[in-house]
Structure 1
């Protein structure tokens, strides 16, 4: 499911007459006087700039199922009143993207209840945030060219102050450049203008995994 998010600039400059039922192409037309007025205001605010970016369309993709997510996850908790073992298995999923591109700045954040008295083992090294009571891992980049094709695991073993620890929900954040999850593309029809550059980017929104 794709949800279009319309910004203030889009409301005044970009319009659509709607698409017939069963057609997967949606046409928009630009109100050029409104857009030019907006660009003039931006130029007055940034007179030194050589070009200006205008967000025309932003959309959200709601995906369900392991095949539609670019990063597959599995979380496992084991422990007793003293020690807790946490394992997070992850797998880069190229099939979820229109064109396979790396995932960048991947943050894994896991709340840990019961308090941590000591971190025994963290593979790879992780960070304990005492204020938020979370364990955090970070992977700079992940793709098919990564070790084991982008398949790996995060391992943590820690001693509890008030165990046993109850399993909690894992949250993940990441970004990617050069592709989309939806497969949506843009084409400019007409002879008066041209697209000099089209950038594609997606970022994780509510990306969660349970035990």
Structure 2
């Protein structure tokens, strides 16, 4: 029974990934607003209802990894090493994600994808919503780790600053992708920018929520 459930989930994942891929290709070729759900369904050889069941929001055919993006900063904070502050953990996680290892955290994308999002107001608006979710998830995690309610304001302020720094880096990476900058050069620039962005927060957050040594 467990094996059957695994197979069903795997099949659903394959369908979902295929729909998102086909839709994104069509959007890049023709523009987000000029491609209908019916056309995506025809291309995938499924019903229109199947597309909307998997993706109630048309925008999430582009941002099919939005749940991972929304949780990415909280996950990086949660996985920081003993002796690392939240700031240090997020900085290290960003650097380790470069090289295409985890684009959800860095913003790496093809030039076509980056231009699609940049040139489509509805997609930019959806990405801002995901940015808010990402900051909210980080704030919730930090508040839980900080403990007493009196510390929750500090957690909210810390998450706002950390999320803002990350958002600037994320959008820089996207801007370089739009300009067809080579991946290796994007990584070099992003690593240098991360030193500046996270370094600017060090005087305030360098010692915030340091994980005790093991």
Category of TM-score, reference length = shorter chain: under 0.3
* Structure with greater helix share of residues: 2
* Structure with greater strand share of residues: 1
Give TM-score scaled by structure 2 length: 0.27
Give TM-score scaled by structure 1 length: 0.27
Which has the greater radius of gyration?
1
